[in-house]
Structure 1
């Protein structure tokens, strides 16, 4: 059984941006060849026990299926153990720290994704050693995207208010046009999910549902 988030943006936030910049959304169009769908941490550790995580699988698959033939990029990002960080071990405690260090699973990255999410040969598979996939020195993703001329990223995956939010904020800081996909990110509760969407829309980038983005990737008449 799966359950999607009841996501929500306060209408006052929409009105605030409409008054400030004259439109609701910062990024009103997408160039598919310069757009990447970034899928964060869709591995069994984060998805198995979370019905919200299972619920976003179809939307991630829909976006990937639409973006590839339009010339865009799909990037799958998985956790890697990385170097030991004493401060993080102190924060989590030794037992939980080791659990988190192993959360990405073992084996080839493509085999560690949640079943039903299948990378294609032209997709990017990248690991990260920090919550953010875009933090300098913690993973190859920014360089791989830059090599393909990507200027827009659609952030999806788990968990909305941890690795997805960290990645989205850092992507925006690096200058990418950044969109968090409202119904293709998953947290543990609606409250946690919506708190992140509120903050991100207010201060960093756009928040839009899958159907909106599919319409931007395939405008009417094209």
Structure 2
């Protein structure tokens, strides 16, 4: 598990601004979605940080479903390689990333440690962010369910998860990044993303805090 933290000066900054540490002191489960980003074998199998967050994602999913909320699984889409991809990554790596989400029915592409439910949402994204217009159907799917709050989890913290948190805030969602249900390659990468999200885009809370918010609703 990552050794995560938010610097005391950042907590103090927000406490001075708004009179409390966290922006969102309550949530409505029926208007809340757990967004699980890119938890597929390509990313999870070789990264112990990813494997360590599976139980926390499952805990939140079970609690939120039980309270009437939504669980949304977002997987990488199989995309066409572009000249830009080849130029940026190199042809071999570009091809690996292009197919990183696997093929077949979406529920079967998930890491084996999950047991999705029939009422869960499944969608693919063809960009880093699950909320970038035109690159993922997630915003439209959440709008249909009246969602106003998103709990961001998954991998990689500082790439697809942070990108999703930023764009979700831009689209008007209340964003909570779950600190111990996101995973990166290194603690410093993980914590840099948490710092950015807490400072500008949303709250950063551990799983136990999120479960408390669900239970208190």
4+ runs deviating over 4 angstroms: none
Q: CA deviation at 1:118?
A: 1.5
Looking at structure 2, the residues matched to 66 and 85 of structure 1 have their Cα atoms a distance apart, in angstroms, of: 41
Q: How does 1:124-203 map to 2 (within 5 A)?
A: 124-203=121-200
Asked if residue 105 in structure 1 is aligned to residue 102 in structure 2, the reply is: yes
Cα-to-partner distance string for 1:82-134 (whole Å, 9 max, x where unaligned): 34332222111111000000100111110010012111000000000001010
Out of 86-95 and 7-16, give the one that drifted further: 86-95
Q: CA deviation at 1:69?
A: 1.4
TM-score norm. by structure 1 comes to 0.96
Alpha carbon RMSD of aligned pairs, Å? 0.9
The one of 59, 84, 88 equivalent to 1:87 is: 84
Looking at structure 1, the residues matched to 167 and 210 of structure 2 have their Cα atoms a distance apart, in angstroms, of: 21
Unaligned runs of 5+ in 1: none
1:24 match: 21
Looking at structure 2, the residues matched to 82 and 133 of structure 1 have their Cα atoms a distance apart, in angstroms, of: 15
Q: CA deviation at 1:211?
A: 0.2
Looking at structure 1, the residues matched to 87 and 17 of structure 2 have their Cα atoms a distance apart, in angstroms, of: 44
- 1:68 aligned counterpart, secondary structure: helix
Unaligned runs of 5+ in 2: none
The one of 199, 202, 205 equivalent to 2:202 is: 205
TM-score norm. by structure 2 comes to 0.98
Q: CA deviation at 1:70?
A: 0.5
Q: Is the 8 A contact 2:37 2:75 kept in 1?
A: yes
Looking at structure 1, the residues matched to 133 and 80 of structure 2 have their Cα atoms a distance apart, in angstroms, of: 15
